Amino acid sequence: MASLADDVGGLTIPGVDTLCGRPMFAAFWAIFGLLEIIVWGALVTPLIVPFIVLPRGKRERFSVLGAQVFGWLCTYVTLMGRTTILGRENLPKKRGYLVISNHRSWGDVGLLIWVTASQGISKKEVAYVPFFGFTGWVSGVIFFDRNKKESRQAVVTEAIDMMTKGANLHVFPEGTRTRDGRINPKVYLKLVQACWENGIDVVPAAVWNTEQGVRAQGIHALPFQKFGVELAKPLDRSAFSSAEAYAEASWAKVVEMATAHGANEPFYWA
């Protein structure tokens, strides 16, 4: 069985290394981490709530700063991650863009919020989580019922409206986290198509190794893992004759980058 030194990228933690890779330690860190991010949510809330007086779509350029602090705390303090960030200069200078990414774990969310200054599109259940629901909404999260087609359609309309007003968003076209490590061949690209139709930049992104910090299944988390995210330049919308072609090419770039970083291979524990 691998040692904790292997799990944490070669670092040995005195007094803890004897628990090498055992589910007990991973479960402990997952529960500890969950409690810690609740604390971060409570601390960050006062930074975000005052902006509720501004209209939705406008306030996010300010309130997302508090969300970025939260994302940084989750990535660097709770998970103690060591990150590689590539292509940050490719983020559009003009606000109101969409980031699309593959989805490896819950760690992707905090990482993308912090690196790309964008909020996500999330299932409605998260809206009822203390701190995260309300402050997430204030800072730009769009909640929807993914089991209802009409709710999915309404998300596109709301997201385009918010991005047109200057809010940045990110979305995982796979719809949920991968369970085996491979990128889901079925993706939802209606929002990307709508961006082409409305002149909104789409930034292809790829994340890797976040599942080493927080697995998609079970109660399992480990500190000191190496995470990575790469951002590509938005594709030139004028080079495509249709929204469908633009959306497919943008997603193909995500898959290309993810594959290059080993993020389209089966999990070793799957």
Rounded Cα distance, 255 and 183, in Å: 8
Using pLDDT thresholds of 50, 70 and 90, give the confidence band for residue 160: very high
Cβ within 8 Å of residue 49, ≥6 positions away = 134, 135, 138
Assess contact for 263 and 102: CB atoms under 8 A. yes
pTM of this structure: 0.90
What per-residue confidence (pLDDT) applies to 148? 83
Give me the mean pLDDT over the 74-97 stretch. Answer: 96
Indicate whether 243 pLDDT > 80: yes
Assess contact for 235 and 249: CB atoms under 8 A. yes
Domain boundaries, the chain: 4-260
Is the pLDDT higher at 194 or at 145?
194
What per-residue confidence (pLDDT) applies to 18? 38
Looking at the domain covering 4-260, what would its CATH class be? alpha beta
Using pLDDT thresholds of 50, 70 and 90, give the confidence band for residue 207: very high
Assess contact for 136 and 51: CB atoms under 8 A. no
- Cα 147 to chain centroid distance, Å, stands at 21
Cβ within 8 Å of residue 66, ≥6 positions away = 44, 45, 47, 48, 135, 139
Indicate whether 91 pLDDT > 90: yes
What per-residue confidence (pLDDT) applies to 159? 97
DSSP 3-state assignment of 229? strand
Using pLDDT thresholds of 50, 70 and 90, give the confidence band for residue 150: confident
Give me the mean pLDDT over the 161-188 stretch. Answer: 95
Give me the mean pLDDT over the 10-21 stretch. Answer: 41
**169-171 and 119-123 strand pairing:** parallel
**226-231 and 202-208 strand pairing:** antiparallel
Write phi, then psi, for 170 (nearest 5 degrees).
-130, 155
Assess contact for 50 and 137: CB atoms under 8 A. no
**Closest-CA residue to 113 (of 136, 147, 94):** 136
